[in-house]
Amino acid sequence: MREGKGDPAIAVIVAALCVASAVLLVDGAQGEELATQLLNGFAATHAAGASALFEPVLCTPNGVFAFGFLRVGSASLDLAVVHLPSSFPLWRATPARLGDWSRPATLTFDSSLMLTDPDHGVLWQTLNTNGDTVVLLNSSNLVVRRYAKPMPAWQSFDNPSDTLVLDQNFTVSSPPLISKNRRFALRLGKTFMALHMEFYGGRATLPTTPMYWQHTALKAQPENATQPPVYGRLDDRGFFGLYLEGSGQRVDVLSFDTFAQNITGVFQRLTLDDDGNLRAYYWTDGSKAWTSDYKAISEQCELPITCGAYGLCIPGEPQCQCLTNSKSTSPPCHAEETTDLCSANGGWQQLDFDVVRRKRVSVAYKEELPFETNKTAAECELACAANCSCWGALYNGASGYCYLIDFPVETLVYEADDRKVGYFKARKRPSPARPGMSPGVTAATAVLSLVLASLAAAGVYIGDRVWERKRRRRAGMEQELAPGPYKDLKSMGSSNKSFRA
């Protein structure tokens, strides 16, 4: 497998800047050779809207790595250490607020490195450092040094982003590896390493970061309270080793495809990719792409977001369906969730939700989920239905195990066993406006409907008044024409005798 093809423009031009007397624009002054160290008082300004994807300010003596301004996506700005032959960022500053590539930003060094922009002030800096120089080592480690002290005041190896490289220790106290899309994290426990779903880099309100893969050091002793924790380290012999802190005793090995092959001229990295898989790659002299050397999860259906929210992955090809029996997940089966179903007013009151039930479903990482035993399918469903922080329940009729999903439902796996059933909650969505109607048209339609309703009411009222008047007039006429007591015409004639001639 190949990944991460290099950009020839960056590889050639920037490498030339590092190893030759090339020109770099720093503080508006041309004619300087690209530095291999930065001193106190250094400042460099990012050229707003630059066409290049990377603007280096510091390089290694061997010309393989450089540090500078990196464009992230289409419009964001970050600081990065880049592997020049492949253009791959091995380390990124990843500030909470990224800069804007279309606007100027300034990198300064005055005891500490600092990135600022005119709108938001300080975007990122090396905290609690008091250094005299900044250097980029041939190992790709960015180091802030103090002349009188042998230990670095700060180094990028202690603050990884999504990648580990050769000779970089990954300890229990190290920040976790976070994937570029901030959906996944690799953390180290006392005797194990594990992959977690982050649900948007911890910005979600979920109380947990669910685990979906774990590897425990074989020779570590979890029950031994006095045993020191393990740490991880990438070895150029083709493996990732777990060692005991202090003694350095190796207690486990994750073997790569190149294990013990003694390939020379290789640079290796271990990266948490955006699909949630942990992979190792290597680069050899003259390569045009990274070669995959290891992956923690071998099957695509075992990754959490292969088919998206409420998606069902069919192993083998793989193939995606929706839990509602749709044949496709494009558009996605359901919107991604970042919060639970508990009412914002507190307590255990649940928000409204729809229910999806499906047979022949499971998850690849059910061993990492909380579970209850000796349950019936109905009891398993009820345990989730009554809990507003539960999004679903998986029941295995063969074992009686009930697995509870206390996070938004992601990719599930199809298993040809009718005894494996699932119960899932889906947040109810407000009814959408009529398709094709813009908000303005919708508002105008509402106003017109109100006017028509008013006119109709007025018409009914006027009609009632007219009808009432006609009714009264008709009643009066009938009263005038109503017959009186019967009178004999003969008697009338006899009374008019005086009119006779």
Compare 266 and 442 and report the one with higher pLDDT: 266
Q: Residue written as tokens 């009718």? A: 418
Say what the pLDDT of residue 276 is.
96
Assess contact for 54 and 70: CB atoms under 8 A.
yes
- Mean pLDDT on 182-202: 89
Distance CA 131, CA 249 (A): 33
End-to-end CA distance of the chain: 138
| pTM of this structure | 0.80
Contact partners, residue 383, CB within 8 Å, separation at least 6: 372, 375, 390, 393, 402, 404
Whether the ω angle into residue 430 lies within 30 degrees of 0, i.e. cis, is no
CA distances to 98, 104, 115, 123, 443 from 119, rounded to whole Å, are 12, 10, 12, 10, 37
Tokens representing 456 are: 């109709």
Compute the C-alpha angle 312/203/171, nearest 5°.
Answer: 90
Tell me: the pLDDT tens digits for 131-146? 999 999 999 999 999 9
**Phi first, then psi: what are they for 372, rounded to 5°?**
-130, 150
Please compute, for residue 294, the number of CA atoms within 13 A of its CA located in the half-sphere on the CB side. Answer: 20
- DSSP for 359-397 reads ESEE-TTGGGS-EE-S--HHHHHHHHHT-TT--EEEEET
Tokens representing 102 are: 């279309």
Say what the pLDDT of residue 346 is.
60
How far does Cα 422 stand from its chain's mean position? 25
Assess contact for 14 and 59: CB atoms under 8 A.
yes
On the question of pLDDT at 486 being above 70, the answer is no
Domains and CATH numbers, the chain: 1-153 (2.90.10.10), 160-298 (2.90.10.10), 311-427 (3.50.4.10)
On the question of pLDDT at 499 being above 50, the answer is no
Tell me: the pLDDT tens digits for 318-335? 789 998 866 666 667 888
The residue among 402, 403, 417, 301 whose CA lies nearest residue 360 is 417
Tell me: the pLDDT tens digits for 208-264? 789 999 999 988 887 788 889 999 999 999 999 999 999 999 999 999 999 978 777
Tell me: the pLDDT tens digits for 289-301? 999 999 999 999 9
Say what the pLDDT of residue 440 is.
52
DSSP symbol at 34: P
Tokens representing 235 are: 């070895």
Distance CA 332, CA 354 (A): 17
Tokens representing 73 are: 């996506």
On the question of pLDDT at 202 being above 60, the answer is no
Say what the pLDDT of residue 317 is.
78
On the question of pLDDT at 10 being above 60, the answer is no
Say what the pLDDT of residue 124 is.
96
How far does Cα 493 stand from its chain's mean position? 111
Say what the pLDDT of residue 69 is.
97
Residue type (1 letter), 188: L
Distance CA 259, CA 163 (A): 20
